[in-house]
Every structure is written in structure tokens, then in C-alpha cells.
Amino acid sequence: MQIRELAIPDAYEITPKQHADDRGLFLEWYRFDRLEETVGHSLSLRQGNTSVSKRGSVRGIHFADIPPSQAKYVTAPYGAVLDFVIDIRVGSPTYGKWDSVLLDDKDRRAIYVAEGLGHCFVALTENATVSYLVSDVYNPTAEHGINPLDEEIALVFPAEAGDLLLSPKDTDAPGLAEAAAAGLLPTWDAARAFYATLDNGGK
């Protein structure tokens, strides 16, 4: 597999090598050792999630308090989504910026999103299926959201998504500036300090 860091520090695109023959194909979509070599620590797997979405469905922007937050390793075994990682770490050199990766059942890429980053995706096909491994279990008291339509972040949703479908929870979420003013966002320093504990085997 090939792993490259995105424009947002601590987020990576993973492209697996697919082995095809007349029976079908085989690939390794997750390798703990290759990921550990890249990010400096292993991904402690605590929960696995799957969502199935109508075309145009937007899920996010979601994030969790750090520590421990949730690192995510995301892929799309069926259909296609455009997956966004948003730097919401106050003080980061790329604060407020985002990058994206097309996850689909052709190239079968994955994306790794470190703790403290915002995550969002939009379904580009009907019944787009997203599966992701996470480093901690869901904790509703530590979970937060940012409105995915926030003009300051300015996510670009592709035309093939069609009409966007958003939950009231996401549209009612604050914008980036409002979330920062309320003290909801992680900081770059806190994130780096937490990553250092992982590098030292502290999790």
C-alpha cells in the first residue's frame, strides 16, 4: 500500500495494492504496522462503525474532546463518498483548512484522521457504505459538531452529490468561529502533547 500525508498534518491517504484475477480481487485495506511506521504509533482499535447513506447525505463535521478524542481509519466498501478532514486545532498552521479524499469501491482508498481533527463526508452514490475503525468508543458527552455548511470552512461539495441531505443536529451545530469562542475546539498544543503520549506507548 501507498501512504501519503494530506495537506492537513496528521491525516493520511492510504491506497492499497489490489490483486485481481478471474475470480475477483484481494487487497489489504488496513495494516497496523504500515500505519504505525507512518504516524509513529499504533492505532488502538476500540470500535468499528458502518454507515449506509443516500446520495447527497452529509455526515459531519464531527470531532471529540482531546484527550482522548477518536482517531479514525475510514474506507468505503460500496459506492463512493468524498471524505473531508478539517483542521480545527486552534493554533495549528493549517487551522480552518481542509483536504479531501475520494473513497470508493474502485480504488478502495482509506483515510486516517488523527485525534483532534474534524471529519465529514458526503455520499456521491446511493447506498454509499462507509466503514471505519476508531481508537475509542463513542462517548456522547465528549462529542461535538461544526456546521458543515459553515462559510468560514467553505467545504466544496461536488456536483455529483446532488441535493444535500443534512441532519438537524449538523445544521444546528455552531460554525468554526462560534465553536472556538465557546472553547469547544481542541488546541494544536494539546493535540501534539497527546500524540506524544501515544508515541511513547502511553495509551
Tell me the CA distances in angstroms from 5 to 24, 87, 95, one per residue in order: 30, 14, 16
DSSP secondary structure string for all residues of 48-72: EEEEEE-TTBEEEEEEE-TTT---E
Q: What is the pLDDT of residue 199?
A: 80
- Strand ranges for the chain from DSSP E: 2-5, 11-15, 19-21, 24-26, 47-53, 58-64, 72-78, 80-86, 98-104, 110-113, 118-123, 128-134, 143-145
Locate 14 and state its grid cell.
492510504
- Catalytically active residues are 62, 132
Is the separation of the CB atoms in 12 and 73 below 8 Å? no
DSSP for 186-200, please give it: -BHHHHHHHHHHHHT
Tens of pLDDT, residue by residue over 38-96, are 999 999 999 999 999 999 999 999 999 999 999 999 999 999 999 999 999 999 999 99
Phi-psi region of 18 (alpha: psi -120 to 50; beta: other; left: phi over 0): beta
The ranges of the chain with pLDDT < 50 are 202-203
Query: What are the structural domains, with CATH classification, of the chain?
Result: 2-199 (2.60.120.10)
Per-residue confidence (pLDDT) for residue 201, from 0 to 100: 55
* pTM reported for the whole predicted model: 0.95
